[in-house]
Amino acid sequence: MNKIELLDTGLVYRNPRPHVESRHAYFPSVVQLTGGEIVVTMTIGQAFESKDQHVHVARSGDGGKTWEVAGPVYEPDSDGVPTSEYCRITATPQDIAAFLIKYNRSRPDCGLSNEKNMGFVETELTIMRSTDKGRTWNTPLAFEPPLIGPSFEMCCPIRILHDGKWIIPTSTWRSFDGYCPNGMKAVALVSYDQGKTWPEYLDVMDGTRQGIIYWESRVIQLPDHRLLGVAWAYDERNGRDLPNHYSISDPEGRIFGAAGSTGLNGQTLEPILLEDGRVLSIYRRVDKPGLWANISGIEADRWVNEYESPIWGYAGGQRVSSDKNMVNNFHALRFGAPSAIRLQDGCIFVAIWAVEDCVGNIRWFKLKIN
């Protein structure tokens, strides 16, 4: 394999009336069902961190050419604390399982993060399920995490491991007032009963002592059953991004080794295991414009980059902001959060959010690895 070919691209969702009302879409998650249908969830609201950000579902039966959009899939209780939510979805043998986080939006005129200390609003972790291919969903069921976050990041869908365990890769996040007893680190919550309870967690990457935060963590399982974790590495002390980092577990998937550099200068990175055991990474690059793809080999515990190719935004200068205040950088983002799967035909399907002509869209790409 030495070539990444872009076969096609299109839109899952774009506000059909942007001149009339503000409706922007962000944070897609994608699965393909047994019959071939592609299902994408996303949040739609007035702005990037607006209080009306709620999850909607889109489905395509023709490979992405046309989409049916429905939602919101969950209507918060009007008598309770106002919330917005994000989710990531996983196709299980029985249904679609969504890891959904509710965000407390009771603070007036406030986004999700505290600009003074990069604290985060209160979060509630839930599991939501659909048995009819995403058309209807049960009420989100809250669960107690096995450690104090106190808040948690929406990073990755549920991963189902070879032995039947479920894990949720996520990151702890300090509270709005700065409380963070376990540091901001990448972890994976563990369930032995298909998401009913989550009694354990794994430390995937912890840079607390070095002042390094690991965001947007993902975990996949390698052919030898070891777990590979990847994350956006941010040096908080010096206010700068580091190359994406990775760590690899022992064969039992219990203990991860020290984090090391992938050599990829990016932020959110989505890894996909290829048929030959190598890893395809889709990521938002920071040293060059655009969304990029990279093929890497895993040799023992070493990450070895072999081939890279731009996918989108490299000609139009789709860069990221580099303000010293990371909360300001969050607000200035214009694309990201790739979600990717390998389709039944062997191609790779990628969905991202992207601001195009001042409107937040969900854009898809179909890639072929030659």
Tell me the two tokens of residue 142.
């809250």
Among all chains, which residue has been given the structure tokens 């909607």? 56
Q: Are 232 and 241 in contact (CB under 8 A)?
A: yes
What is the per-residue pLDDT across 167-182, written as a single tens digit (0 to 9) for each? 999 999 999 999 999 9
What is the per-residue pLDDT across 350-368, written as a single tens digit (0 to 9) for each? 999 999 999 999 999 999 9
CATH of 4-369, one of 2.130.10.10, 2.60.40.1480, 3.40.50.1000, 2.120.10.10: 2.120.10.10
| Among 238, 298, 280, residue whose Cα is nearest residue 367 | 280
Instruction: Give the H or E element holding residue 330.
Output: helix 326-332
Residue 355: partners with Cβ closer than 8 Å, 6 or more residues away: 24, 334, 335, 361
Q: Please report, for residues 2, 23, 228, 244, the alpha-carbon distance to residue 305 in angstroms, rounded to integers and kept in the order given.
A: 12, 39, 15, 12
Query: pLDDT per position in the chain (370 positions), as tens?
Result: 568 999 999 999 999 999 999 999 999 999 999 999 999 999 999 999 999 999 999 999 999 999 999 988 887 776 788 999 999 999 999 999 999 999 999 999 899 999 999 999 999 999 999 999 999 999 999 999 999 999 999 999 999 999 999 999 999 999 999 999 999 999 999 999 999 999 999 999 999 999 999 999 999 999 999 999 999 999 999 999 999 999 999 999 999 999 999 999 999 999 999 999 999 999 999 999 899 999 999 999 999 999 999 999 887 654 444 444 434 434 445 888 999 999 999 999 999 999 999 999 999 999 999 8
Measured between alpha carbons, how far is 138 from 136 in angstroms, rounded to an integer? 7
Tell me the two tokens of residue 281.
């990474």
Per-domain residue ranges of the chain: 4-369
Tell me the two tokens of residue 326.
């990371």
User: What is the predicted pLDDT for the residue at 328?
Assistant: 43
Q: How many angstroms separate the first and last alpha carbons of the chain?
A: 5
Q: Give the number of C-alpha atoms closer than 13 A to the C-alpha of residue 210, restricted to the C-beta side.
A: 13
CB atoms within 10 A of CB 298: 19
User: What is the predicted pLDDT for the residue at 364?
Assistant: 97
CB atoms within 10 A of CB 343: 16
Amino acid letter, residue 326: M
Q: Are 189 and 167 in contact (CB under 8 A)?
A: yes
CB atoms within 10 A of CB 271: 22
User: What is the predicted pLDDT for the residue at 313?
Assistant: 86
